[in-house]
Structure 1
Amino acid sequence: MGQEEPVTDAIDYFVREEKIKKRGNVQLSLALKTLEDVSKSKGLSADDIIALTDVAASGRHGDELSCKLIKCLIPASVFPDRAVVMVFSYTCASIASTKVQAMLLRLLIAVYDYVEKKETMQKLGYLLFCLIENSILTPYICHLLYNLTRKEDVRLFRVRKLLELQTRIGIQPYLSGLLSVYKLYFPNLVSIEIPSTRKQFFPSSDKYWYAVIRNVQERNQAAETSHMRSSLELSEKLRAAGGLQGIPPSKRRKIDPIPYVHSSNSTLTVKLSSRLKAMLEEKPIPFVQIPDIDTLLKNPEKVELPSQMGAALRSPVLQYLMSYSADPVMTRRFSFWLQDTLSNELLDCSHSAASFPRIESFLEKLIQFTEFIQEGIPVVDKVLFRYLQIWNGLDFRQQVLRLVTRCRLYPFSVLLENILEPLRKLFVRTSVFIKCQIIMCLTQLLRNYAAVEIPRYNLKYPDSKPCVSVFEDDIGMFDALSTVIKLIQYVDRLVSVGLSLDNNHSLLLHFTLTFNEMVSVMHTQYGLPFVYLPSRHVIRALLTDNAMGPARVCGVINSYKKNCQKLKEDSVSSEIDIPAYCKKETIHSLNVLILDLCDTLWRRRAFTHGRIDSHFNFEDGLLDIEANDCLSLYLHQAFLPFSLLFLKETQPKERIGHPKGIKEVRDTFMEFLERENISEVKEFILNTITRYRNSTGTHQQTAEISTRYRNSTGT
């Protein structure tokens, strides 16, 4: 009660006084200071907002004081419907000055998401169109009408008025923004070209005001739900109890920025011509009346879309409608909402502890949507490009990296500047765990390019054919295969740096080999006309003390060998010229890797092979000749535990000898490794050592050799 009395007295002071002295008025300063502090800390109640709106909108205390009072109209929960009516009444009647009118419109834009009933704003919104020629009010009127416009609001005389105004004052972003909505509904009425970037339409100077309103809402919600673990738990409980029905929209917004599905409630309030009725469809089906997909597919063209297309992130049925029809009106409206919301959540506000669960939930739903439609969203890429430049690598890391994996295909220069370089800067200064996440992200991005983006690009270009895509984004022709090749080269160099920085860490080595495994099958699995071999860092895995390393290296080389053979058989691939790729050099590098593995694991000539191009090329005398054996299959530090286990199983306890004795029964030892789920080595030897492949006996012969070895005394 003690906190409510000062703000009540302050509001009564402004309401009661007919004329307030400005200069040297201590009571005015104290009342205004109290009002500002309370509104910024916990917001104002609905009754207080209504009382102050009447005072401020009338302008009876002067423009400067009225604008300060309007800035204090921060709702604690919802912005009352009656205050909205007052704002429209005072603005359209031109009772207040133009400066106060502009502040009132800015207020409606700032609290738009927290208005108690949007239907009132939709019914009264186009009363503002009579003021469209006021140069000061036009940007705010266009912004507000941009949010409120429905299909039946698009009238030919309004389009003509905007085009006439644009001809007189020149092309303005706010006029283009409102015309873009008109063009979405009726392309035949607006023939001019409209820029597609939402940020160009309505640049705002009230970001601090928006942030204050959002912080007040979040603090109040946190206080209301302090008995719960997070606002997400509240969302789930309310959803289970009835889908958040009956909860004020402002509280829903604080819990989750994604709107709920409801029809646009577009009941016609004016008499229309028969022609316009036919254009608008006389009996649309509100989307809220669509219970399932079967009902949707019966009359998809008659479905009345919800007033907020952002509800698609929450409604599976609406997602099916978007992917089924690929209607540009739906996708553009969704893109406008998504870019605005995503920018506000990630870029235009400071993240508080209370906001993290809400933003994470929003990003998770966005990721689920992109997985459903199996493609990236262009506006998400644009926001990510900006966010990665200022990202600290900690906030929402899992969600951000998953969104990066669905990034669209761009020229490599665009990809390098906006995604790869920010990730590289993060990569070199973070822990090995985050390095692994980044490598996995880039591996998934490469898979997305190979499996989804390259086929979509090839369908569209060079003939500019319509492509099966929910979100179309024409970025022009470029060498798509070169982008993929350069991306592989970039990641290949990046993992080399990472392995050097972290001393060949086993976890990072695992993700490096995962990347190489994916690259090795790009021709056979995805049909790309090239095979790119990794740099020398792959040989590092051969020197680890973990059997996973050399075994997976053998598997990777096996996969590369199969792909190169398939590529050689494919006559079409030889006709494709890809910059930064040399087929002969690839085959030569593969042969070097195969020979090095054979000399190391099988022939026991790791350092005495006599080849200049080997990865193990050392000057004579630097290594003892006995070092050749240390990397052989049965003496390798990674396979020694298996060698000892093999000896224990095949030799009596008193006759267990040195692992060198396994040299005589290497084929049996490889079967033992296969039993231990290390089958890549045997497959590699069978596919590369011709003499071994031709001389390998039957299972019965192998058993006889094993029996003789069991009966031997060892070495």
Structure 2
Amino acid sequence: MPSLADHQRPASLHDTLEALQRASNTPAKQRSVKVSSLVDVICRHAFDVGLDHDALRTVVQIASVKTELDQTSVTTLIKNLYPAQRVPSDVVVTIVGALGQGKGKPSPGSQNAFVKWLATVHDIIEDPSVLSRLYGVLFGLLDSISIRTSLCHLLSLITLRKHVKPFRIEQLLQLARGPGNEPALQGLLRVYKDYYPDIILGSTSASRNSFPPAPDTEWRSRILAIQERAAAEQKPGFEQRNGFKVASIGRKRVKASVIPDVHTFHANEASVTLEGIDNVEDFVEKLERIEAPGQMVSFLTDPLLQKFVELSDSPIITQRIQLWLSTCLEDQYNAIKEDTVDSRYLSDILDGLLKHAQYTKKLLPIVQTFLKEYLRFWDDLQNLDTILNLLSYLPIHPFADTRVTFLQPLERCILPHGLQACERLIGFYTSLFHRWSNRATPRPSPSSSSLSHPDQRALHDLAAHVSTLSSSLLLSLPSCSSSTTIIVSTILTFYEQLSTISTPHHIPIILPSISLIYLLAMEPSTTTFARVAGIIANYRHAFTAHPLPIQKYYPENMTSSFNTALRDLYHLLWMSKALIAEPPKSVGLYCAPELSDALHTYLTQADREYNVRTAFNVSNNPLFASISLAAWVAIENEEIKKEGYDPDAITRHAGPVSQRKLEMLKAAGGVNIDWDAYRVRVLKWMEERGLAGPKEFMFAASNQLQAKFGGGDVKLTDW
């Protein structure tokens, strides 16, 4: 397998490994090289990019036998075994073979370090079953006192029900009853007792040392960084958990988990349990014979148990889940009312409920009931993201009911907490609308009104509410602030989804209010204007693709409102009629005639070539002026080169470009550029730099531009 380290390995690494191998067989006094310098080179390379399979094998082979190397060097090598890929199975076999008593075995300290390393990397081994197959060998080494503690920790992590045999229970009980009452043995015995509580009687003591220690944070972070880097270099990367194996999260160090691991109690040798499932074929073959685990609440977080619950369709299992959840959530509700809630416990429960919702794409009825009551007392935004994600899975219902039950209490909690909370609220509505649109039922009669079905009406009412909320936020926020920019971007994200999601007879075309369009279009941001223009273009394409006649499906005031916005932005950007109202077809962005006249007078006094009508076109718009100038310079240079003009002698235009000035430039001996061609080139210039909205808008709005420069058959018209 190719390795990240293959092409990044220093030229000296291979030679260094060979030199270390020779040094390991040479007495210290007879060596010609310094071992510590060799170890330093290897460890530094391992820390930087990890060890590929060959290098890892070499280092393990050197450290896994008794050699002439000093203990410090061997320990340093083992502590720096950072694999660049998953650990090969043969490396694991080599390490296990090095454990125990024997003339050629490494020192007890090296063996103990190797066992700790296996416990740390057990979840990134190429073949996860290799440790399971070596379980008997590892268990048989419990007599080795020097590695017993680390070995118990490793066995606690890999033990499955199939490993728990009567003879092992008996041997473990004998060891645990010996002098010393070793905590690690008690911890392993507790694992065994989880599988067979009726066989292992009595209580097992638990202390901090009973459980496997958490891996060194720095070491773990480094190995993850190395392997993520390697995964990015090689395709395919490391496979993720396939969802057909119980997701054991390990033994808890101090307190029991709110949501326990999957365990099947009272099992025997003939039992088929989820813990014994390793792959999808095994799961499908044994599905009807699998015994339900002891605590069904584990289904909240375990992918395999979730599949089992969904496929088994057992009333008993359903009742067990509902009973636990109802009792648990009722206890939490009472604790919230009495202000005695354990916040960490509640967070664990809510996170588990969210994982279940993300898997099933629905919210359990008991969870909806809890959230309805919980929102009445929720005022500190604790678990905000989890609550919003849970509510985004609410089933599609008449919007008025959902608003009163969930959304009004939610907004009452969130809105007073500042702009960041408001941004998350708009993001929540984006997710909710997306999920509602996926669940909406197509209209039974394709020829009926677009809002004749309750689901389509619910989508329309939800979008209308977001439009009102967005307008209110924009009008109440200070202009030109970073917080305002974030809110505007979140609102635009909602409408970018809304403008592209419509499907005839299923998801209706739903427009924002015309006033909101104008508020967004007048934001002092080039990116914002480009996104608004792109949204209007999306709506124009949606109407074009919709079955005709439009009036049959949508009310006339809706289409006329959209035409007004389309025409106003067209006048603003292209026709040099900015802020000029021509009722009823355009409203001039609601700019009062008195204000428009005053601006016109001011601008003409400042420069008689300048006026309010041309102040927003592609040449003069303050958002696009620098872009249009850069585009003009490129156009002029291209034309000069194409026609073979002398760059130093030809008359150049300093900008801003207008139709009249282009004619004057031609008469003065400058380049001959068409006014429309120049403006389209500016639009394409912006598109090439990530601002595609204005070009998409103009090509959607103008049949002439489509025919002359882009093709197509879209025109500005009334329906």
TM-score by length of 2: 0.53
Q: 1:675 to 1:457 in 2, by over 3 A?
A: closer
Contact 2:392 2:431 in 1 (8 A): yes
1:77-116: CA deviation from partner (whole Å, max 9, x where unpaired): xxxxxxxxxxxxxxxxxxxxxxxxxxxxxxxxxxxxxxx9
| Alignment-mate amino acid for residue 700 of structure 2 | N
User: 1:5-404 counterparts in 2 under 5 A?
Assistant: 243=248, 254-265=255-266, 285-345=272-332, 348-349=335-336, 356=343, 359-404=346-391
Contact 1:347 1:387 in 2 (8 A): no
Structure 2: distance between partners of 1:697 and 1:506: 33
| Alignment-mate amino acid for residue 284 of structure 2 | L
| Alignment-mate amino acid for residue 638 of structure 1 | L
Aligned mate of 1:583, from 542, 552, 555:
555
What is the CA distance between 1:425 and its match in structure 2? 1.9
Aligned mate of 1:513, from 472, 487, 492:
492
| Alignment-mate amino acid for residue 604 of structure 1 | S
| Alignment-mate amino acid for residue 667 of structure 1 | V
Structure 1: distance between partners of 2:300 and 2:621: 53
Q: 1:253 to 1:521 in 2, by over 3 A?
A: farther
The answer on 1:492 being equivalent to 2:467 is yes
Unaligned runs of at least 5 residues, structure 2? 1-192, 199-205, 225-246, 445-452, 601-610, 638-646, 663-674, 712-719
Structure 1: distance between partners of 2:473 and 2:371: 24
Partner of 1:419: 406
1:239-294: CA deviation from partner (whole Å, max 9, x where unpaired): xxx9566x5xxx68945310221114278xxxxxxxxxxxxxx9763333333332
Partner of 2:587: 614
Q: 1:525 to 1:317 in 2, by over 3 A?
A: farther
What is the CA distance between 1:302 and its match in structure 2? 2.1
Partner of 1:103: none
Aligned mate of 1:596, from 568, 576, 581:
568
Structure 1: distance between partners of 2:535 and 2:490: 13
Structure 1: distance between partners of 2:489 and 2:416: 20
What is the CA distance between 1:618 and its match in structure 2? 4.1
The answer on 1:676 being equivalent to 2:676 is no
Contact 2:258 2:348 in 1 (8 A): no
Partner of 1:454: 440
The answer on 1:631 being equivalent to 2:616 is yes
Contact 2:381 2:413 in 1 (8 A): no
Contact 2:521 2:529 in 1 (8 A): yes
Aligned mate of 1:659, from 656, 659, 677:
656
Partner of 1:480: 455
| Alignment-mate amino acid for residue 687 of structure 2 | E
Contact 1:263 1:307 in 2 (8 A): yes
Contact 2:388 2:428 in 1 (8 A): yes
Contact 1:264 1:305 in 2 (8 A): no
Contact 1:523 1:567 in 2 (8 A): no
Structure 2: distance between partners of 1:415 and 1:697: 45
Structure 1: distance between partners of 2:271 and 2:441: 37
What is the CA distance between 1:697 and its match in structure 2? 8.4
Structure 2: distance between partners of 1:403 and 1:355: 20
Contact 2:259 2:349 in 1 (8 A): yes
Contact 2:398 2:454 in 1 (8 A): yes
Q: 1:693 to 1:481 in 2, by over 3 A?
A: closer
Contact 2:396 2:455 in 1 (8 A): yes
The answer on 1:641 being equivalent to 2:626 is yes
1:363-385: CA deviation from partner (whole Å, max 9, x where unpaired): 33432322222222222222111
1:564-599: CA deviation from partner (whole Å, max 9, x where unpaired): 23333499x957xxxxxx532221111111101101
Partner of 1:534: 513
Q: Let me know the Cα RMSD of the aligned residues.
A: 4.5
Contact 1:533 1:586 in 2 (8 A): no
Contact 1:520 1:560 in 2 (8 A): yes
Contact 1:531 1:563 in 2 (8 A): no
Partner of 2:668: none
Q: 1:656 to 1:381 in 2, by over 3 A?
A: farther
The answer on 1:557 being equivalent to 2:554 is no
Partner of 1:96: none
Structure 1: distance between partners of 2:346 and 2:437: 30
User: 1:426-437 counterparts in 2 under 5 A?
Assistant: 426-437=413-424
Structure 2: distance between partners of 1:570 and 1:319: 48
Contact 2:526 2:624 in 1 (8 A): yes
Q: 1:602 to 1:328 in 2, by over 3 A?
A: farther
Structure 2: distance between partners of 1:518 and 1:697: 25
Structure 1: distance between partners of 2:562 and 2:394: 31
Q: Specify the SS of the correspondent of 1:682.
A: helix
Structure 1: distance between partners of 2:366 and 2:459: 22
What is the CA distance between 1:532 and its match in structure 2? 3.7
Q: Specify the SS of the correspondent of 2:618.
A: coil
Structure 2: distance between partners of 1:298 and 1:226: 36
Contact 2:399 2:458 in 1 (8 A): yes
Q: Specify the SS of the correspondent of 1:668.
A: helix
Q: Specify the SS of the correspondent of 2:362.
A: coil
Structure 1: distance between partners of 2:436 and 2:694: 31
Contact 2:442 2:505 in 1 (8 A): no
- The percentage of aligned residue pairs carrying the same residue is 19
Structure 2: distance between partners of 1:689 and 1:633: 16
Q: 1:255 to 1:355 in 2, by over 3 A?
A: farther
Aligned mate of 2:701, from 688, 693, 709:
688
What is the CA distance between 1:298 and its match in structure 2? 1.1
Partner of 1:172: none
Contact 1:545 1:638 in 2 (8 A): yes
1:512-535: CA deviation from partner (whole Å, max 9, x where unpaired): 111112222332399324434434
Contact 1:516 1:556 in 2 (8 A): yes
Contact 1:611 1:617 in 2 (8 A): no
Q: 1:568 to 1:257 in 2, by over 3 A?
A: same
Structure 1: distance between partners of 2:499 and 2:533: 12
Structure 2: distance between partners of 1:525 and 1:479: 16
